[in-house]
Chain A
Amino acid sequence: MIQNVIDGVLTGSYLSLGAIGLTLVMHILRFANFSHAELLSLGAYAALVCDALVTALAPVLAIKLAPLSLTWALGLAIVLSMVLTGLSAVVIDRLVFRRVRERGAELSMVFASFGMALVIRNIIGLIFGLSPKLYSQEIAFATVLSFDPLILVKPDQVFVLLAALVLMFALHLVLSRTTFGYSLRAVAENPALAQINGVNLARTIVAVWLIGGGLAAVAGIFYGMSHQIIPVMGRDLVLPIFAATIVGGIGSVYGAVLGGFIVGLAGNLALLVLPAGYTPSVPFLLILAVLILRPHGLFGEARA
């Protein structure tokens, strides 16, 4: 039980990061972006490449930060991957979403995002192959926190949780304390009015993609560190991330954080009451329950 709670929180940390980006995009650009989870794959693979490059250029950086399986090189690769993934998100928006946004309806955007998801996933599969990849072939052993009841935690997971919390706090500061944060929220509230007040809409959209892409990259890398990197990881994660976003309430960054942890916990606790074969239904059940009880999510607000 305690183990399941701990695992749930640790799983929730990368789901939250993914959900934050999704909720921002869904709120500000007003469409359900089904390709968002592919940005996680993109980020994870970008870090894989950057890690290899950095290690090749500066072998000294391949030292492990014991007790983590993280190396200095991978740490650097995370930063590079955030930038690369953020820029990829901007490029994708330029090439596809902006064109559809200008001409099509909301539903066209949803379909375009489905298409983009397939394109990204298959390009990754073409380049890297369909079998799983790992940042480190070695298996990072869990530390025993208690023998009775048996509680095991991997150092990597604690790092992931702390890093995720730091990033979330930084984002919170940006959104609540800076002019940029206000303009972002203004655009979400009413794009036309925000433009009248001198907010540059195009630049704001670029910023949203950069933030969303960057956080998605971190989420993808953290997922890859905890599990494995595989081209279909976006497909596997899209549902939990959407569940987290909807549970938290679309547009609410804090809701997305909470939603991520709720989905992570629910997934891990489900096994205590449900046979293993039925646990994939849990995110669906959560979405249904929230939509029935609070149609706008825990932190969401109705808007016209």
Chain B
Amino acid sequence: MFNHTHRAASAGLAFGLAVLGTTASAQECTTKIGAVLPTSVDWGRPIAETAQFAVDQVNEAGGAAGCQIEMVLRDTQVDPKVGVDAAKALVDLEGVKVMLGAVSSGVSMPILTSVTVPGGVMQMSCCSSSTAFTGLAEEGKTEGLWFRTFATTAVQSAIGAKVAQDQGYGSVAILYKNDDWGQDMGRMIAADFEAVGVAVTTSIAINDAQPSYRAEVTEALRTQPDAIYLALYPAEGTAAVREWISLGGTQNMILANSLKSDEFRENVGMQYLGSALGTDTSSPRSDSADAFRAAYMARFDSEPNGPGLANSYDATMIALLAMEAAGPDATGAQIAEAVARVTDPAGTPVTADAAGFAQARDVLGGGGTVAYQGATGNVQFDVNGDVSAPAVVWSFTETGTQEVSYLPLDEVDAFIGSLR
């Protein structure tokens, strides 16, 4: 009985679709792209909706490479196993050549190494920030198939070194959290300090959940640095800094964005934080970013304030532009190669909307290149598929934090370039 009804319904649906197909769209084909995102967590769903928003705009402009685009979305549940299964199904069963996602580095990484690279599929993540991907790309293990529109911690590290240079600190001691992120930061900031000629007196790991950081702080104090760099979270940051100041350590501090917290400011006390400068990445202040903001608000009735929304939009848009540039029936590798043609700084600027996509199609069709002006600014990937981001330097005030200076993307890129 159920089968019968089901079949009847399917027949009706198929008929309906066939009618729609001949009237609503001139295109006969649909290309599937894959998306593996944590839609089961509250901050993951908007990221997926923003990706779909970009797909809708491209379809409005007539689709990519001559076909309508269908984004097949699978939930990762922020779990590497679930993410890999989902990605594998998309590649093996749906035959996608482009994979959007994942969000967490820990999920993106196994998908990259065990699904997309072996399957020759281009992977574009909106939100994974680990420098492990950079390392993998440097070893050539991503085969040029990996991109992300989220800036790595390298930007913050470089700006930390810039602050030390601008303040004229001759030597700095580093305290870093002993986890993946902290070790990354500790390693990079040490290299960046050396690059700008600031001596690193010592680099000390701060372990989580230790009853006391007295010994670590004493060790750093012994080296008598001009300033300290702190890549810590507020809980151990507060403990370590209070210890540091009580022992007469310098109040010249450079802080990673993790310490941009009221808890840290209140428990250490403003009277000791007057010379503390923090670093952070920033959303771009460009017309294209404002345009995205306006388009997003028109579509969703809210500001795009969640994490990774602008990045998700750009990841999707660039992937689809690359598909357009690579032409019909392109392989994942060909699409990945075409990314350079749509993010070419010397190319024709195109906006991040349906009109921009249509314009890009014309330019690319004529053999030209385009410079995508996206929600996160003029996105440019380096050879490892990494992007940079604008940065801010901030300081604490009685009520919160204030911006000390803003460094636009090109200044950040120029400074990072000067370090290497």
B85 at the interface (CB under 8 A from A): no
B214: A residues at CB distance < 8 A: 7, 11, 268
Are the CB atoms of B235 and A4 closer together than 8 Å?
no
- Bound CA span A140–B243, Å: 9
A7: B residues at CB distance < 8 A: 214-215, 218
Given contacts A132-B235, A132-B267, contact A279 B212 (CB under 8 A): no
Are the CB atoms of B269 and A276 closer together than 8 Å?
no
A277 at the interface (CB under 8 A from B): yes
A280 at the interface (CB under 8 A from B): yes
User: Smallest CB-CB separation from A15: which chain B residue?
Assistant: B211
Question: In the complex, which residues 68-98 of chain A have their Cβ closer than 8 Å to any Cβ of chain B?
Answer: none
Are the CB atoms of A139 and B238 closer together than 8 Å?
no
A192 at the interface (CB under 8 A from B): no
Question: In the complex, which residues 198-231 of chain B have their Cβ closer than 8 Å to any Cβ of chain A?
Answer: 204-207, 209-212, 214-216, 218-219, 221-222
Are the CB atoms of B209 and A131 closer together than 8 Å?
no
Given contacts A131-B235, A277-B178, contact A268 B215 (CB under 8 A): yes
Shortest CB distance A295–B (Å)? 26
From the candidates B210, B216, B238, name the one contacting A236 in the complex (CB within 8 A). Answer: B210
A204 at the interface (CB under 8 A from B): no
B245 at the interface (CB under 8 A from A): yes
Given contacts A132-B235, A132-B267, A270-B215, contact A142 B210 (CB under 8 A): no
Best-buried of B215, B246, B267 by chain A (most CB within 10 Å): B215
Shortest CB distance A22–B (Å)? 15
Question: In the complex, which residues 259-293 of chain B have their Cβ closer than 8 Å to any Cβ of chain A?
Answer: 263, 266-269, 272
Are the CB atoms of A141 and B205 closer together than 8 Å?
no
Q: Size of chain B's interface in residues, with CB distance under 8 A?
A: 32
B234 at the interface (CB under 8 A from A): yes
> Chain A, 125-155, contact with B by CB distance < 8 Å: what is the 0/1 string?
0000001101001111110100000101010
User: Smallest CB-CB separation from A140: which chain B residue?
Assistant: B246
A228 at the interface (CB under 8 A from B): yes
Question: In the complex, which residues 1-46 of chain A have their Cβ closer than 8 Å to any Cβ of chain B?
Answer: 3-4, 7, 11
A245 at the interface (CB under 8 A from B): no
Shortest CB distance B169–A (Å)? 21
- Bound CA span A267–B239, Å: 17
User: Smallest CB-CB separation from A241: which chain B residue?
Assistant: B211
Given contacts A271-B216, A277-B205, contact A237 B267 (CB under 8 A): no
Are the CB atoms of B235 and A138 closer together than 8 Å?
no
Are the CB atoms of A141 and B248 closer together than 8 Å?
yes
Question: In the complex, which residues 232-246 of chain A have their Cβ closer than 8 Å to any Cβ of chain B?
Answer: 232-233, 235-237, 240
**Number of A-B residue pairs at CB separation under 8 A:** 89
A141: B residues at CB distance < 8 A: 245-246, 248
B162 at the interface (CB under 8 A from A): no
Are the CB atoms of B235 and A280 closer together than 8 Å?
no
B247 at the interface (CB under 8 A from A): yes
B97 at the interface (CB under 8 A from A): no
A132: B residues at CB distance < 8 A: 235, 238-239, 263, 267
A144: B residues at CB distance < 8 A: 248
Are the CB atoms of A235 and B209 closer together than 8 Å?
yes
A227 at the interface (CB under 8 A from B): yes
Are the CB atoms of A280 and B248 closer together than 8 Å?
no
A230 at the interface (CB under 8 A from B): yes
Question: In the complex, which residues 202-242 of chain A have their Cβ closer than 8 Å to any Cβ of chain B?
Answer: 223, 226-228, 230, 232-233, 235-237, 240
Q: Residues on A close to B: CB < 8 A?
A: 3-4, 7, 11, 131-132, 134, 137-142, 144, 150, 152, 154, 223, 226-228, 230, 232-233, 235-237, 240, 267-268, 270-271, 275-277, 279-280
Can you give 5 contacting A-B residue pairs, CB < 8 Å? A132-B263, A141-B246, A152-B247, A267-B212, A270-B215
Given contacts A270-B215, A277-B178, 17 further A-B pairs with CB under 8 A are A3-B218, A11-B214, A131-B267, A140-B246, A142-B248, A144-B248, A223-B211, A227-B212, A228-B239, A228-B267, A230-B235, A236-B210, A236-B211, A237-B211, A271-B215, A276-B216, A279-B215
Q: Residues on B close to A: CB < 8 A?
A: 178, 204-207, 209-212, 214-216, 218-219, 221-222, 234-235, 238-239, 242-243, 245-248, 263, 266-269, 272
